[in-house]
Structure 1
């Protein structure tokens, strides 16, 4: 067997896995988002299908990606879990040592500041991505209450997209960990059908304020949006 060929293959699937992991870490691939198909990655990266599959296997082992079967299946980014974390700050979030009030206070303070930075750093590509995320929320709203889980993940993706636009990966990582706390959204799951429309209206207003370069308005709407959610989940 050609040892150079074997080494090249090992390097390629590890490189693919690393590239996808970096995109997840930096926030350009968000929880619940579907990864490109094997066929698309093979064509885009000029690698073999076996290399792509091996890369997916590594990401599944790291608990970063899950493989879903069926017509709507594929490889999807998983919400943060304790396997993905290290360090006291992440442990604090992952093991639910914070009260709901502390989580609510964190979101209120961090996201209202993050959106101001995002407005200042917003470019046309960011805006297109933000509107794409918003349109995904709209699509699940139109499908109705049977799509609450998908609606919530799409909602989170808008918030994480704003954090990514702000340009500091620490914002993305801290917010991603916070939004990964399932108990924070537990109460919302019961109330969601009657609140989905209002939630979407809030997100739309935030995006429009960002598009119009109105940081104060974007921060005000963000705080009102989070405050209402926090009151419901208390």
Structure 2
């Protein structure tokens, strides 16, 4: 199908401003992809070149497209965190951390009182969680509404949630009975926490560099 109309520079500027105003958290990648789609469809289907009317007729589609982009952002962070987690078992330097963690928690459970073991298990991941939350904060008002900022650090909550579950007396007691099981659970919490921290620091740097023009 041939173009019915060619969008003007003024309309293209209006379109970008409209999306940024109506969907303040939209990522650059999602916005660019959405603009490309809307421009293509608008030029093919418009009868009178009325962009405002076209957008009004496509509000539901635009909202779904933005929501899909948000969901993709969450999946990206989760996937990268898991990939980083598995590197702790494949890369020599990180593998040393994993082995040390397993041996540390096994020794802890074999030689110390359960109350001390439990406290150490709670305190260490909480310190990493707090550090991750602090280092992952981006307070700049120009950036805080971006999806990539809002969902930065969401993966630090998985190990923190597992810590809360260990607070259940019966579950904690069952795990502490077996040093090997305790070592696996505790090491998973620590290693996943470290993986999440690495991803937080990586993407915070990327975000600040990518959007540095907004901070001038």
Q: TM-score, normalised by structure 2?
A: 0.28
Tell me the TM-score normalised to structure 1 length. 0.26
Greater Rg by CA: 2
